[in-house]
Amino acid sequence: MTKKITISLPDELADEAQASGNASAYIAAALRERRRIQGDLAIMADLWGPDWQDGISDEDRARAAHLLGGDATADAA
């Protein structure tokens, strides 16, 4: 089942979604990925406690962002 909605995006994100060829599928995949990441973070909090991220250094974050091709200052979730 699908539901049609109307959303507003910043220009660069709208351009990226449209360039994908199927904006609906692109946005659905992004939302599913966010849900997966949030689930993974919850699992880590269950395993190591709610403050498990406090032990991650800025150097670790920068290395992870570089490996993922992202921005070291970007939020993981």
Residue 27 pLDDT: 95
Look at residue 68 in the predicted model and tell me its pLDDT. 82
pLDDT at 70 over 90: no
The reported pLDDT for the residue numbered 73 is 53
Interatomic CA distance for residues 30 and 16, integer angstroms: 12
Q: Note the pLDDT tens digit of each residue in 14-54.
A: 999 999 999 999 999 999 999 999 999 899 889 988 888 88
Q: Answer yes or no: pTM beyond 0.75.
A: no
Report pLDDT for 76: 47
